[in-house]
């Protein structure tokens, strides 16, 4: 119960969790645990929980529509030399020369 980070706004240690984010009752500041977690090295895992690293080769475990285009990446598509980035779409990669951001939960390490 004591590992909640101090409030990034006022530095009080009264932080408590509320749903999926943290709240400071002293100043009312709210922030997400993701932000707090980013202070430590982020962990990237594939759909099976296998850790991923920059330069890994992965395959897609389902068809993925590419946001903002009519492209559909087929299940089983092999993607090499991925780069891991922070964010909701945490895998930066190139498929058929197109630069894409995908989610690690839809792929498995090849
Ligand atoms: Zn505060």
Q: Are residues 66 and 35 in the same domain?
A: no
Rounded distance from Cα 37 to ligand 1 centre (Å): 17
pLDDT at residue number 3: 74
How many domains does one find in the chain?
Answer: 2
Q: Are residues 35 and 65 in the same domain?
A: no
pLDDT top residue among 69 and 44? 44
Q: Are residues 68 and 105 in the same domain?
A: yes
Residue 99 lies in a domain: yes
Residue 50 lies in a domain: no
Rounded distance from Cα 18 to ligand 1 centre (Å): 14
SS3 for 44-102 is CECCCCCECCCCCCEEECCCEECCCCCCEECCCCEECCCEECCCCCCEEEEECCEEEEE
| pLDDT, mean of residues 41-67 | 91
Residue 53 lies in a domain: no
> Measured between alpha carbons, how far is 5 from 20 in angstroms, rounded to an integer?
14
pLDDT tens-digit map of 27-46 = 999 998 764 454 555 689 99
Rounded distance from Cα 11 to ligand 1 centre (Å): 6
Model confidence band, residue 1 (pLDDT cutoffs 50, 70, 90): very low
Residue 19 lies in a domain: yes
Rounded distance from Cα 3 to ligand 1 centre (Å): 16
pLDDT at residue number 96: 86
Host domain of residue 68:
58-109
Rounded distance from Cα 50 to ligand 1 centre (Å): 36
Q: Are residues 30 and 3 in the same domain?
A: yes
> Looking at residue 65, which CATH number applies to its domain?
2.30.30.40
pLDDT at residue number 34: 62
pLDDT above 90 coverage of the chain, percent: 68
Q: At residue 110, does pLDDT exceed 70? A: yes
Q: Determine contact, residues 18/30, Cβ cutoff 8 Å.
A: yes
> Looking at residue 13, which CATH number applies to its domain?
2.20.25.10
Q: At residue 71, does pLDDT exceed 90? A: no
Residue 16 lies in a domain: yes
pLDDT at residue number 9: 93
> Measured between alpha carbons, how far is 15 from 49 in angstroms, rounded to an integer?
30
Rounded distance from Cα 17 to ligand 1 centre (Å): 13
């Amino acid at each position: 119960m004591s590992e909640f980070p101090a409030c990034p706004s006022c530095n009080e240690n009264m932080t408590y969790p509320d749903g999926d984010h943290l709240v400071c009752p002293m100043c009312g500041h709210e922030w997400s645990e993701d932000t707090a977690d980013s202070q430590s090295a982020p962990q990237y895992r594939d759909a099976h929980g296998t850790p991923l690293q920059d330069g890994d080769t992965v395959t897609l475990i389902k068809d993925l529509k590419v946001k903002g285009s009519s492209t559909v990446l087929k299940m089983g598509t092999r993607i090499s030399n991925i780069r891991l980035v922070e964010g909701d779409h945490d895998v930066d990669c190139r498929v058929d020369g197109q630069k894409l951001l995908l989610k690690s939960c839809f792929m498995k390490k090849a």
